[in-house]
Amino acid sequence: MEAKGLPWLKQVIFSAMARPRLFGLLLRLGSIGQLPVTRGSNYVRARYFGILGKIPGIRPLAALASWRSLPALALKPLRDRIPAQVTSNATTATSSKPLTVCYFAGCMTDRLYPEMGEAVIQVLEAYGVRVTFPRAQNCCGLIALNSGDRRHGASMAHQTIITLEKALAESGADYILSASTSCVATIVQDYIKLFEDLNQYGWLERTQALSQRVMDFTHFVDSILLAGKDSGSVAMKRVDYLPANSELAVTYHDSCQSCNCLNLRPEARRVIQQELGMELREMPQSDVCCGFGGSTSIEHPEVAERLLQNKLRNAESTGANLLIADNPGCLMHLRGGVDATGKPIRVLHLAQLMAEHLPQTQR
């Protein structure tokens, strides 16, 4: 890809993403400029384009929205919804020092799905975890790196490492937590390969040290919050979830990065069945790709659409009315497909499912 060069549009996009202030400004302007094709909803839908869909520069976007509604930019991103860098003074039921996490939301959660980020924080605080949110965080560089743009990808990697190192030093956090398994895989795996290839061994050592503190939300809930609660090794608040509604049934999608890169398979299922007491119905081919694949779903829409429809058919075959995953990219793709086809199934992040079943006093 470096030898052939990137398409000009990707060069412009990645160049902007590597400049946090410019990227943030463009996204805020975009959240206002999108109104003609969102009409205040959470989606860019094909039927909203009207005559705009016939304009050559906009026609490809309208075509993409014909089979998968596209996500609207949040008018108020997650960073604006959190009142302070230290979001909680949560204390446990004992006098022990509360567990502290530095929350790396990822740009999709921050700018597209801030409600997912709020759910993550609600769940963590319910268990007595203190959460910090470094406002300097930007994109981890995943999209650029996957497209072969190591220059801008490395720039975003440098920014992320500096931001997280500073946040750890200032907050004394025990862990860096992200509810985006793609971001976690990028930081703990892709950065190491990147800096090895670029012979940036100082950055390699910093990444290796940082990666020891990075954990995805699902692993954290299963191995720290729930295991700590049961063993008494970590002082946690007790959380009594609301009784499961007998009319609700859950099916689970294993995202590619979750199961293939981070070895996540039984953890979310334990949370759903044992902690929430909900019925889990396994879908066929739960670990087959949903078709998102980042920009792949834009560059190869015919493949992405076929995989998406296959995934939604498998989910529907279970009779479940809730489709759960732990990767915002997959959730974006699945939600878009559900919205475009009008299928009667809700698509939620695991953290949102947990937050919805917290007692009112712990939300």
pLDDT 10s digits, 37-59: 999 999 999 889 887 778 777 78
d(CA 291, CA 261): 17
d(CA 102, CA 85): 10
CB atoms near residue 229 (< 10 Å): 18
Asked if residue 184 has pLDDT above 70, the reply is: yes
d(CA 206, CA 188): 11
Which pLDDT belongs to residue 238?
85
Asked if residue 112 has pLDDT above 60, the reply is: yes
CA torsion sign for 294, 176, 111, 322 is positive
Q: Which of 7-11, 26-30, 47-51 has the highest mean pLDDT?
A: 26-30
Which pLDDT belongs to residue 92?
46
- Burial label, 169 (beta-carbon count in 10 A; 0-12, 13-18, 19+): exposed
d(CA 125, CA 114): 17
Backbone phi, psi, residue 12, to 5°: -65, -45
Backbone phi, psi, residue 271, to 5°: -60, -45
Asked if residue 35 has pLDDT above 90, the reply is: yes
Mean pLDDT score, 111-119: 97
Which pLDDT belongs to residue 3?
55
Domains of the chain: 8-71 (no CATH), 78-231 (3.40.50), 249-362 (3.40.50)
pTM of the shown model = 0.93
Q: How far is CA 305 from the centre of its chain?
A: 21
User: Are 355 and 122 within 8 A, CB to CB?
Assistant: yes
The DSSP code for 360 is G
Mean pLDDT score, 78-92: 66
Longest dimension (CA), the chain: 64
DSSP string across 193-230: HHHHHTT-HHHHHHHHHHHTTEEEHHHHIIIIIIHHHH
- 237: number of CA atoms within 13 Å, CB side? 20
Nearest by Cα to 178 from 232, 120, 128, 139: 120
Cα–Cα distances (Å) from 154 to 2, 11, 146, 271, 275, in that order, read 14, 14, 12, 35, 40
Q: Where are the beta strands (DSSP E) in the chain?
A: 43-44, 70-71, 100-103, 130-132, 175-178, 214-216, 249-252, 279-280, 322-325, 346-349
d(CA 289, CA 169): 38
